[in-house]
Amino acid sequence: MAEQIYQQALLRLEQAAEYSKAAPETVERLKRPKRILEVSVPVRMDDGSERVFTGFRVQHDNTRGPAKGGIRYHHTVHLDEVKALAFWMSFKCACVGIPFGGGKGGVIVDPRKLSMLEIERLSRRYIREIAPIIGPDTDVPAPDVYTNARIMAWMMDEYSALAGQPTPAVITGKPVSRGGSIGRDDATARGGFYIIGELADRRGWKASEVRIAIQGFGNAGQQFAKLASGAGYRIVAVSDSSGAIHCEKGFDVDALIKSKDKSGKVTDHSEGDKIDADKLLELDVEILVPAALEGVITKDNASNIKAKTVLELANGPTTPEADEILADADTLVIPDILANAGGVTVSYFEWTQNKSSYYWNKERVHDELKTIMTREFSAVHDLKEDRGITMRTAAYTHALDRLADAHEATGTRSDF
């Protein structure tokens, strides 16, 4: 799967190019990352031994601004995966109109097998190894899978030590006490929630009649469940690595989160029935929210999906083959580069606040995020309707047009 993921990402570009004003030269440039760095990350373990981990940082494009993208710690991290994620970040930032390019980082490691001190040593050493190519005006990392605000604080602290001065704008997703933005904790979910609100207005939905299944109950899944249930939507199924549970009348989301926090497993919750995790995707619900890893909706299960709206809070959860099946079934897929862009948008707010040393209150963060998410959803939806294409192709076309404006203003032209 990892070997195929970058080719799948490029397929999205080729589909969008058919509808975009981008010059062929621009499309060719965007097929290749600007820079790939592979590093060795030696770490002194608690028992005195040394292990050497492999890390990556990929900068896909920086034409519209500094590269931007998370750092993930996972034993399955693969260079093609990191390249694809960096590619998606270029298009995600362009889709919502924020002045960043695309980047991504990763370390091949299972952090669950490391102590907290070992993770800190790993994080600090990794940032030292990639320090020559990152910076507030060149490449701004952030958290991703199995990294968090504390790890970002370690990384910012390490970079600042190398720079000889406090440099909070080099990393986003930090604790508020270390220059992080209020409102960053639920930004990914909140951005998706604002999109659902806009779609509900267009379709005349009554929230209490809308059932939602969430595949993945980490931060994004939990926060989306809280926001949606607070607005009256019924969260009828959730899953994590332990399995899935289903409750047709809707879960008490606060109780479910407490249960998950206590045991680490949604399947230990007393409410609802256990179901096969794969079956959650096929439940009879109005909205399906994949909020875990990529590649979970495939040609093998897409035809069984009953939800008529799929909100991709995860990166790359739907394969191109599955997209075709869902499109034929008239299922509206709100693609990742739009649906989960709330996270990078509030990261942009954090970077802006760090650069200016002027910090916003929660109301301003939420208002600014809602303005951007609803504006860009409307633009993509209108493009979809005008061109008769899918939401994904419309989102990529919308982003590619912006990338083309930037590339072609600085030299790439179709009439050379």
How far apart CA 314 and CA 293 sit, in angstroms, is 6
Residue type, 188: T
384 belongs to the catalytic site: no
- Measured over the CA atoms of residue 163, residue 168, residue 170 and residue 175, the dihedral's sign is positive
Residues counted in the chain: 416
Q: What is the dihedral of CA 134, 137, 138, 140, to 10 degrees?
A: 60
Beta bridge partners of 274: 245
How far apart CA 345 and CA 350 sit, in angstroms, is 9
CA 213 to chain centre: 19
How far apart CA 274 and CA 76 sit, in angstroms, is 28
Q: Which of 34, 92, 104, 260 is catalytic?
A: 104
CA-nearest of 124, 109, 52 to 78 is 109
Residue type, 45: M
CA-nearest of 109, 108, 120 to 151 is 120
Angle (CA) 27-29-35 rounded to 5° is 145
How far apart CA 73 and CA 107 sit, in angstroms, is 5
Query: Are 134 and 140 within 8 A, CB to CB?
Result: yes
Residues noted as catalytic: 104
